[in-house]
């Protein structure tokens, strides 16, 4: 998978998350969780783009660790939102699946980059 493909996947994840959030009822619970989710889901992609412009391997790893945290946080906030919005189960499951894949790719990229620093 190319860098541009991965940038596109992060962007699509953020946009699809926003589209789902836009359709959820505006109640106290959804508003609180959605505010957190909109930030973390878009931050993962923004920080991935920053990682692609890293000035060193250490900088790259540091930025990818932020991506890892933000995607994991997105997955966390998707869970309670799914719990309170069971009528959108399919959409939540698709987003969670993509988030898990993005997280796995990010973690593997960190491991690969760390191997390069030990050689």
Q: Which domains does the chain show, CATH number per domain? A: 3-118 (1.20.1440.60)
Cα of 24 vs its chain's centroid, Å: 19
53: DSSP letter: T
Any residues with CB less than 8 A from the CB of 112 and at least 6 apart, and which? none
Q: Is the pLDDT of residue 69 over 70?
A: yes
pLDDT-derived band at 74, boundaries 50, 70, 90? very high
Please state the rounded mean pLDDT for residues 95-115. 97
- Distance from C-alpha of 59 to C-alpha of 97, rounded to nearest angstrom: 28
pLDDT at position 9, please? 98
**What pLDDT does 118 receive?**
74
Backbone angles phi, psi at 26, to 5 degrees: -90, 85
């Amino acid at each position: 998978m190319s860098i541009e493909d991965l940038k596109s996947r992060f962007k699509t994840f953020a946009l699809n998350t926003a589209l789902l959030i836009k359709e959820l009822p505006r109640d106290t619970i959804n508003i609180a969780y959605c505010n957190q989710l909109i930030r973390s889901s878009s931050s993962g992609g923004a920080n991935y783009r920053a990682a692609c412009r890293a000035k060193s391997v250490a900088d790259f790893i540091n930025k990818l660790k932020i991506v890892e945290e933000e995607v994991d946080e997105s997955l966390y906030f998707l869970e309670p939102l799914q719990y309170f919005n069971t009528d959108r189960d399919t959409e939540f499951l698709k987003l969670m699946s993509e988030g898990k894949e993005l997280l796995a790719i990010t973690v593997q990229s960190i491991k690969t980059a760390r191997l390069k620093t030990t050689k």
